[in-house]
Structures are given as C-alpha cells and as structure tokens.
Structure 1
Amino acid sequence: MSETPVNKAGPPTAHQDLHSEQGALRGEHPGRARNPATKVADLAWLEFEKPDLDRAEVFAHDFGFAIAARTERELWLRGTFAGSPCMVIRRGRASRFLGPAFRAAERADVHRLARTTGSTVKDADVPGGGQSVSLLDPSGLPVRVVHCAEPLPALPEQRPLTLNFGTDRRRTNATQRPLREPSRIQRLGHVVLETPVFARTLDWYLDTLGLIVSDFLFLDGQRDRGPTMAFIRCDQGSTAVDHHTLAMHLGPGAGYVHSAYQVTDLDAIAAGGEYLAERGYRRSWGIGRHIQGSQLFDYWRDPDRFMLEHFADGDLFSCDVEAGWAPMSGSGLAQWGPSVTRDFLGTSPSPAKLREVLKALRGDNELDPARLLGLMKAMSS
C-alpha cells in the first residue's frame, strides 16, 4: 500500500528542473504504488445529474461538445477524437456531480479489478456497450472503471492555424481570420477533486487504479505534514501521457472542482471564449498558461455553475519522470495571465461555504485549524 511517511531532512533528489524546482526529500511520499490493483489507461468520462437536459445541451453546443447520444433521460457528449464519450448528463432533481469513469485498457482488467476489490462486473450503459465495475473512493465519491466494446469513430477536426515564426514563414499571401465559433472539443483531459481526507484518497487512487504523481504541492511551513495537492497521471510506461488526468487538493468539501477539455490551439481557446462571452456565459479565469502541466487555459461556468476548462498544449510525461514538489500558492498557479480570481479558487465567502468549513473542522478528517489557515494563506499569496 502507498504510505505518506513523515518527512526526514535530507538533500533533494536530482530533478532536472523538468516541472518544479525540486523533487522529494528523503522519506517523503514516493508518488506511486509498488503493486497497484490495476493500471487504468485514461479518464473515460464524467457523470452528472441535471434537471434540464435541453439547457445542458445548449451549453454543450456552445462550449464545443458534439452529441454522442440523446434520450429522454440521458445526454451523452463527446469530442472529435475516436474513443469514449467525454460526459454523460442524466436527468435528475438537482444538479450534481456523480463521479468519474476511468478507462481500462483491456476488458480483462475490469474483471481482475472486480475480483481484487470484491466488486461485481456489470454492463456499461455507454453508447456502443461495454463492461464496468463500480467502486467508492475514501471521500465517498463513486468511481467506475470501464471498458468500451465499440469506441466512437473520429469526427472532423478544427484544424490548427498555420503560423509564422520569425524567419520560419509558412503563411504567405493569406490572412489569418479564425472564425468566432465554438471551440471544437477534442477530448476530456482531466478532472480536479476536493477532499477533506487527502492522504487516504490519494493513496487509494495510486493503489487501486495505478495512477502516479507528477507534482505535489505543500503548504508553507507544513511540508513535514505531507502534501496538500497532487497532480496525477496514468502510467502507460514509456508512452508519454497528460501531466495530470486527475488532480486533488485538501479542502472542506468532497467532490467536483472542475474538468478540462482539450481543443486545437490558442486561437481555438480565444475565439471560442469570445463566442461564449457573446452568449452571456461567465468566464471564471483566463486566458493564461499554467505552471504545473503548462497548459494554456480558459475557465468558464455553465448555467448550473459547474466549472469547465478549455485547454491546449499540455505537458506529456512518461513513467520515468518522478514527482516534483513545490509550495502551494494562488500566484503559483499560472506562469502568465490575469490574476487568479476568487471564483476560480472558491474563496468567495458565503453562508454555505462557512457551514462546509465548520462541518469539516468538526469531522474525522485531515482539515484542522493549522491546515485551514495554511490553505487560506496559500490561496491569498
């Protein structure tokens, strides 16, 4: 099982300055499990409930999704890449996040995971069919691992623009006028979750799904207590994959923070953002470039206030890149771009947020007053 050992002073390991200034100190979390139950290949889709599927479909079009399937009770959204859908929205009484589904590389992996965890393999209700196993992470969030029988075929792409770079002049006698239209989603990239039981939840994803950590963030003056955020990727050996497929951070709530969807390039992000703004949607933060993961980003709120991100040009790591360690701060979230907003950080004061914090401080979890003050300081720095 993965463990989060107490930090013992020691020199940083060689880190090659790939993605943070330093690696782990001696005795710190290794960022991966020795013998995971399985190794998922990717994030498959995210599951939501919403009362108004028609309104959800309008936003989906404006944000850049294509429709994979639509019934009276379900709306399946997809990108242009071949593979699984990106999202399913089921009709329900209230808007809520139901959980993520991760993709197994082989059907046998689903059955092996079911035996290991004492779970049952069931038919997956995904377009094209498949099989799945349902689990529960330590935060109480439902997690599915699925294998799709018939992947969706590819759709026409939004082609990247031809750019001139100094003396590298590829575009002549032609103007550059990208259409102000929806950014065409290519695929689901990652989901970010909040949990008050960070260490236990982190280890569960490493031990159960075989994910590995790309970057840890820690609170100023509290590194000896372990990290409070992790950017986590799939392990596909020498094949380079997204810097993070899942990110998690310690907090009073449990569940969804945001999800990210890849588009072609910066112009697709910007023109798609103008399209969203013209239709009255609210930007949460952007446009900018992240530090951990390096993505170009732009965050938006849907009509139910769920946060979704357009991104492009993210880092790709193979399994031999070890986890980086860096201090957690609001200003450290982007290399360039506008200042991070309170809306993005979720620090806007409200009675609901106060009740959530008080409940967490009284509960059996990792959020104590010192951790809470450290998080508040980090997000205001």
Structure 2
Amino acid sequence: MSEIRVHGPDGRTAHQDLHSERGALRGEHPGRSRNPVIKVADLAWLEFEKPDLERAEVFARDFGFGVAARTESELWLRGTFAGTPCVVIRRGRGSSRFIGPAFRAAERADLDRLARATGADVRDVGVPGGGKAVDLLDPSAFPVRVVHCGEPLAALPEQQPLLLNSGTEHRRTNAAQRPPREPSRIQRLGHVVLETRVFAQALSWYLDTLGMIVSDFLFLDGQRDRGPTMAFVRCDLGSVPADHHTLAMHLGPGTGYVHSAYQVTDLDSMAAGGAYLKERGYRRSWGIGRHTQGSQLFDYWRDPDHFMLEHFADGDLFSCHVEPGWAPMSTSGLAQWGPPATRDFLGASPSPQRIREVIQALRGDNEMDPARLLGLLKATKS
C-alpha cells in the first residue's frame, strides 16, 4: 500500500508535534483503507456471557454502571450519556466468556451496504429501544456486530467535575473540597483491546470493512521491517475529533479479550471510585497513571470473573487529518507516569492456559513464530 501523508502549511506532516516523535517510513502501512465498505461511528456495546448475572450486577453497580434493562437471561448496562447501552451480559451455562464487540453504524443505509458487500443479512437486534444489525466474523473468528439502533436511552445525572485552583487562577474560594467516596459514575464505553494471532489480517479487515483508521502503531525492537505488532485504531469521523482509539489490537499467542475501558468524569472521580472498589474487596490490576498512546488517565480493575476493566478520563481526540505515530513496543513506554505495569496487567504470568496458547500458536498457521514470541517477551521486560 502506498504512503498517505497530510501536510500542514509549513510542510510538516500532520502527526509531528501532536502525539508522536516518529512517523511512518517510506512504504510502511498508511493506517487506513482507500475505499472502505462503510465507516462506523463508534463502539455501541460489548457482549459477554456469564453464569451468575446477580454477581455481575453487583460488580457493575460498584464499578459505576447503571442498569438499562434486566431480565432472567440478560443484563444491559449503561453509562450516563444518552445513546445505546454499553455492555450486555447474557446468562450462560458454562464459564464466563467474551462474545464480541458491536459497532454503531453512522446511518441505517450503511447496514444494507455492509450486508451486500459481505453476503450477510440485516436482522432485528434485541437492544433496549430496538434496532437492526449485521453479524460478521473477523479474521480472528471474533463475532463482530454492526448495529443501527432506534430510540436512544435518555441521559442520566452526571458526577460534576471538581473546581480546581491552579497557580494564580482561583476558581474555588471559601469552600472545601470533599469528593464523596462512591462509585465512579461511568459516562460511556470508550474502547476494547483484543489479542490476536493474525494481527495483520485482522487490522486490514477492520480498516477495509469498517473504515477505521490507525492513530498509533507499535513495533518490536529490531523487527520494524516486519511491520507493526500493535495498533490503536479510531473511528474516521472526518473533521470531527474522535477518541484516539476505539479498538486496539496486538499480536500475541492467544485470541481473545484483553480489557475494555469506560470514561469517567475526572481524576477525582476515578480515585474516589477506586478507593470505593478497594473497600468493597475488588483487586486493582494497575493504576492510577497516565498512558502514552492516547494520553488518558487510567485505572484498571478485575471483576469477579477475572475480566479486566478500565476507568479512564482525559483521552486524546484526533480528526482524520492526524497520521499514525510509530513507536517501539515496551512496558516502560505504556505510561508517562504511574506505578510500574504489573505482571497481571501484562498477562506475563506463566499459567497453564498461557503455555498451551504459546504451543498452539507456534504450531499453527498464523503470524506467531519464535522471533515474534521472543520479541514480545523482551518488550514486557523493557
């Protein structure tokens, strides 16, 4: 694919001075498709299956979700912003598992266009408020749903950001600061991170089929010539700024869910909510800190089924004019500040399941090989 560059009036490329010290080298992946089938507007929701909906609801409320709908077999969770629910958990008989993401189509006609291009059908989807969907499989065999919903959920009351005094700017006088110890109130779903053994194929699928564009690429030290091994991917809303990443994917020996992220009001909301979660007996995976790619404040937690969820605030917003940045993959590069990344967050513990995944990946027909595996192990220690 040929290189795409957008230049400013001084001749500098669009990514310079914005988010990355490095851009693409000549001939490297441009980070977007020239003629995508459609351009999705956002993530709509994520789908999970769990045997214990009661326990799932207790954690969801403690983490800061509201409940949009509840039946014997389904739990729909929402944030305070108007729009679609952000998580659906269906009752299952086996172990808990992630099903897949649902993306929001910008227009109803996009579903027809997508169905014609893929040979899929447009069908009703049982979301609160009603809607239509096209169901697909990505190259990693993840079910991916593209939806256009009917009646949006109304907005709920917000946690208000605290007024802060800064230097000589005194916005708060004769008033003390006392944020309540309560759950961080989730505003919306921000992004999902997936691991895949077929990174290049999966990335091309999301760019070509859903019209997403790359904000940042990461590559393994000494292996840049083999292409990137992680991408932070955003929706292409043209000149309207979008989240730095709505989807992130990285090459790995497994195929599955890594974490999902949910926006909260500000740092105080995040910290007070984290203190509340700790008092309730939940386990922090990593945080609080500020990421490098995406710049967001973060705090990661494990739910009772061991899924990782992130509270985030103050993330980057990019229009379509910003080109991908390129950086080496490393643990030290994950955050600008904060505690060191934990082994739990990195998935670096040598569990029996992880060992099986490595063996299967090295034996299978995919993008994992010994050099890639050693590079990934090196990145977790750098």
Give the alignment's TM-score, normalised by structure 1.
0.97
The question of whether the paired residues in 2 share the 8 Å contact of 1:100 and 1:143 is answered with: yes
The question of whether the paired residues in 2 share the 8 Å contact of 1:13 and 1:22 is answered with: no
Superposition map of 1:209-220 within 5 A: 209-220=210-221
The question of whether the paired residues in 2 share the 8 Å contact of 1:13 and 1:25 is answered with: no
Partner of 1:61, secondary structure, is helix
Shift of 1:87: 0.2
Partner of 2:103, secondary structure, is strand
Q: How many pairs does the alignment contain?
A: 373
1:240-287 per-position Cα deviation (integer Å, ceiling 9, x unaligned): 010000000000111100000000000000000000000000000000
Q: Which amino acid aligns with 2:163?
A: T
Query: 1:376 aligns to what?
Result: 377
Q: Does 1:365 align with 2:373?
A: no
Superposition map of 1:172-191 within 5 A: 172-191=173-192
Query: 1:138 aligns to what?
Result: 139
Q: Does 1:52 align with 2:52?
A: yes
Partner of 1:367, secondary structure, is coil
Shift of 1:32: 0.1
Partner of 1:271, secondary structure, is helix
Query: 1:103 aligns to what?
Result: 104
Shift of 1:105: 1.1
Shift of 1:17: 2.9
| 16-25 or 135-144, which deviates more | 16-25
Query: 1:289 aligns to what?
Result: 290
Aligned equivalents of 2:38, 2:326: Cα separation in 1:
26
Shift of 1:15: 3.5
CA 1:371–1:13: 2 relative to 1, 3 Å? farther
Shift of 1:16: 1.4
The question of whether the paired residues in 1 share the 8 Å contact of 2:14 and 2:322 is answered with: no
The question of whether the paired residues in 2 share the 8 Å contact of 1:13 and 1:24 is answered with: no
1:196-252 per-position Cα deviation (integer Å, ceiling 9, x unaligned): 000000000000000000000000000000000000000000000100000000001
1:75-125 per-position Cα deviation (integer Å, ceiling 9, x unaligned): 000000000101000000220000000000111111111111110001011
| Structure 2: gaps (5+ residues) | 4-11
Partner of 2:274, secondary structure, is helix
Aligned equivalents of 1:15, 1:38: Cα separation in 2:
25
Partner of 2:55, secondary structure, is helix
Identity over aligned residues, as a percent? 81
The question of whether the paired residues in 1 share the 8 Å contact of 2:107 and 2:148 is answered with: yes
Shift of 1:19: 1.2
Aligned equivalents of 1:220, 1:314: Cα separation in 2:
27
Partner of 1:178, secondary structure, is coil
1:139-181 per-position Cα deviation (integer Å, ceiling 9, x unaligned): 0000000000111110000100011011110100000010010
Aligned equivalents of 1:255, 1:13: Cα separation in 2:
35
Aligned equivalents of 2:256, 2:137: Cα separation in 1:
12
Superposition map of 1:4-83 within 5 A: 15-83=15-83
Partner of 1:175, secondary structure, is coil
Query: 1:147 aligns to what?
Result: 148
Query: 2:263 aligns to what?
Result: 262
Aligned equivalents of 2:108, 2:227: Cα separation in 1:
36
Shift of 1:20: 1.5
Aligned equivalents of 1:255, 1:210: Cα separation in 2:
22
Q: Which amino acid aligns with 1:204?
A: W
The question of whether the paired residues in 1 share the 8 Å contact of 2:45 and 2:189 is answered with: yes
Q: Which amino acid aligns with 2:331?
A: G
Aligned equivalents of 1:258, 1:29: Cα separation in 2:
25
Partner of 1:230, secondary structure, is strand
The question of whether the paired residues in 1 share the 8 Å contact of 2:2 and 2:27 is answered with: no
Q: Does 1:280 align with 2:274?
A: no
Q: Which amino acid aligns with 2:181?
A: R
Query: 1:9 aligns to what?
Result: none
Query: 1:116 aligns to what?
Result: 117
Aligned equivalents of 2:329, 2:161: Cα separation in 1:
34
Query: 1:320 aligns to what?
Result: 321
Aligned equivalents of 1:204, 1:272: Cα separation in 2:
37
The question of whether the paired residues in 2 share the 8 Å contact of 1:283 and 1:301 is answered with: yes
CA 1:120–1:14: 2 relative to 1, 3 Å? closer
The question of whether the paired residues in 2 share the 8 Å contact of 1:50 and 1:96 is answered with: yes
The question of whether the paired residues in 1 share the 8 Å contact of 2:14 and 2:323 is answered with: no
Shift of 1:13: 5.8
Aligned equivalents of 2:264, 2:89: Cα separation in 1:
21
Aligned equivalents of 2:233, 2:15: Cα separation in 1:
17
